[in-house]
Amino acid sequence: GDVYWVRLEHGLPSQFDQMVRSLILDEAGGVYAAAGHELFASFDEGESWQRVAGDLPTVMALAVV
């Protein structure tokens, strides 16, 4: 399969690199990462991240629908 490189910095909490539970890439090139109770998104291959949601139930997996 294809291999994608994603940077996990610039906008993610400092502990995030230790706790990533799921990463997913959508057809438009967005990358989504989840850890604990938060969801983050990047639209520039991980150069920068923004928090999309917090206070979620513990996120165990992500899916593109």
Given a cut of 60, whether residue 22 has pLDDT beyond it is: yes
Given a cut of 60, whether residue 20 has pLDDT beyond it is: yes
Q: What is the pTM of this model?
A: 0.70
Question: Which residues, including other chains, have CB under 8 Å from residue 33's CB and lie 6 or more apart?
Answer: 8, 12, 16, 20, 22, 23, 39, 40, 41, 42, 49
Single out the residue of 60, 23, 62, 64 nearest to residue 45, CA to CA: 23
At 41-60, the pLDDT tens digits run 888 877 888 888 988 888 77
